[in-house]
């Protein structure tokens, strides 16, 4: 079963920030600077966590992972975007992220 995650990170070092951005492209799609929407299996999520642990310095950096639910469920689609729409998302999602 795949779940949808919103992954946001704050990385203090420019070199780590670039590496993190490139690594996250393998797990999801960027929706804002340092924010990715990822549809992952449990194994893929574990791989993402291991990759991030190898890249980041958690004394200075942080990652927030929000579980939006099973892909295709009502909550997993609960994203509303104001302005330019995200690729692959319709305009009628129910929650607002500001």
CATH number assigned to the domain comprising residue 56:
3.30.70.240
Domain region containing 10: 3-77
For residue range 44-93, what is the model confidence (pLDDT) as tens digits?
Answer: 999 999 999 999 999 999 999 999 999 888 766 667 767 766 565 554 44
90 within some domain:
no
Question: Could you give the number of structural domains in the chain?
Answer: 1
Tokens of residue 94, six digits: 């129910």
Give pLDDT, residue 96. Answer: 45
Instruction: Write down the pTM of the prediction.
Output: 0.80
DSSP code of residue 86: P
Give pLDDT, residue 73. Answer: 80
The CA distances from residue 70 to 5, 8, 65, 76, in Å, are 9, 19, 14, 6
- pLDDT of 95 over the 50 cut: no
């Amino acid at each position: 079963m795949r779940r949808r995650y919103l992954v946001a990170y704050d990385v203090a070092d420019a070199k780590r920030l670039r590496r993190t951005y490139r690594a996250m492209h393998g797990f999801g799609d960027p929706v804002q600077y340092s924010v990715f929407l990822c549809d992952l299996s449990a194994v893929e999520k574990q791989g993402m966590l291991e990759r991030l642990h190898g890249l980041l310095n958690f004394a200075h950096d942080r990652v927030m992972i929000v579980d939006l639910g099973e892909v295709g469920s009502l909550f997993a689609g609960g994203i509303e975007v104001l302005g330019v729409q995200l690729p692959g998302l319709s305009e009628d999602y129910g929650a607002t992220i500001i």
